[in-house]
């Protein structure tokens, strides 16, 4: 029988190439981001993350620090404020001594109906789900070039592939992110900077539990090929591989972790 594994167990893959790597994760304080921070820290990487959820972020640092080869660093940063993003990323680059890996994970999937979207809400949704991914990449590219390469992982979503209800702006952003990945991968490939999209299915996070009743969760599982709910550690397993040197010839593509949800 297959064992369930988590980033904290001995059953997960170890990537020697991730030891001491300098990693920035956006939205690392909770949900999938928390799982990503935990997984990179467990690999012995130097991890910094940004979030607006300050208490959750500090609690994560406190939880991971005792067993960490490198204690993770967190900074409060609202990624919709590009001046703040630029300043915090410069600060983190200095604190880490460079940047090798960027995980553009932060996002927000608030539901909305077409008739309720105003121009201001359009801007707000695009800023929280799309714009910062480009500007975070722009901020770290010089450091990656100096390091001789790097890896950027942009979080997309299965939602627009399925065409879900009440998410038109979120899904517009998530569709655009796959184009962003392909464009950055082309422009940065000769600098040995790889860029890929992670496309999660429905991942069991505290926030998702807010949207779904047990019946709704059962419907998702029924639409997946595999039984079971996807955990942040399952997403982290894909992210670690794509961030590692084992994926050195993988770029410009979209990698699904969705249990075969159709």
Count of CB atoms situated within 10 Å of the CB of 236: 28
Q: Which residue has the tokens 């607006």?
A: 52
The site for ligand NAD, by CB under 6 A, has a size of 29
Count of CB atoms situated within 10 Å of the CB of 249: 6
Q: 24, 25, 33, 240: which one contacts ligand NAD (CB under 6 A)?
A: 33
What are the beta bridge partners of residue 213? Answer: none
Q: Give the active site residue among 121, 170, 212, 255.
A: 170
Q: Does 27 sit near ligand NAD (CB under 6 A)? A: yes
- Which secondary structure element, helix H or strand E, spans residue 163, and what is its range? none
Q: Rounded distance, CA 225 to CA 221, Å?
A: 8
15 a catalytic residue: no
Contact, 257 vs 234, CB < 8 A?
yes
Restricted to residues 198-237, the positions that interact with ligand NAD (CB under 6 A) are 200, 202-203, 205, 207-208
Which residues neighbour 161 within 8 Å (Cβ) at sequence distance 6 or greater? 199
Q: Which is nearer to ligand NAD, 136 or 147 (CB)?
A: 136
Binding mask 72-101 for ligand NAD (x = CB under 6 A): -----xxxx---------------------
- By annotation, the residues acting in catalysis are 170
Interacting residues toward ligand NAD by CB under 6 A:
27, 29-33, 50-53, 77-80, 105-109, 128, 155, 157-158, 200, 202-203, 205, 207-208
């Amino acid at each position: 029988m297959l064992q369930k594994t988590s980033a904290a167990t001995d059953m997960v893959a170890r990537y020697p190439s991730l030891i001491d790597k300098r990693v920035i994760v956006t939205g690392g304080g909770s949900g999938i981001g928390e799982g990503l921070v935990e997984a990179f820290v467990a690999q012995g990487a130097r991890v910094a993350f940004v979030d607006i959820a300050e208490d959750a972020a500090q609690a994560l640092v406190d939880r991971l620090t005792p067993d960490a080869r490198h204690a993770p660093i967190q900074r409060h940063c609202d990624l919709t404020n590009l001046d703040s993003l630029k300043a915090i990323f410069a600060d983190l680059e200095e604190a880490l001594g460079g940047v090798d890996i960027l995980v553009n994970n932060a996002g927000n999937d608030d539901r909305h109906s077409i008739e309720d979207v105003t121009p201001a809400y359009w801007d707000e949704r695009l800023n929280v789900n799309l714009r910062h991914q480009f500007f975070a990449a722009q901020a770290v590219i010089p450091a990656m070039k100096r390091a001789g390469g790097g890896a950027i992982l942009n979080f997309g979503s299965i939602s627009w592939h399925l065409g879900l209800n009440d998410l038109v702006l979120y899904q517009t952003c998530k569709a655009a992110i796959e184009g962003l990945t392909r464009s950055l991968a082309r422009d940065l490939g000769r600098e040995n900077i790889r860029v890929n999209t992670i496309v999660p299915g429905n991942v069991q996070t505290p926030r998702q539990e807010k949207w779904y009743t047990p019946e709704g969760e059962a419907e998702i599982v029924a639409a997946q090929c595999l039984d079971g709910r996807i955990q942040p550690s399952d997403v982290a397993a894909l992210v670690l591989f794509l961030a590692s040197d084992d994926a050195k010839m993988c770029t410009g593509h979209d990698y699904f972790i969705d249990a075969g949800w159709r």
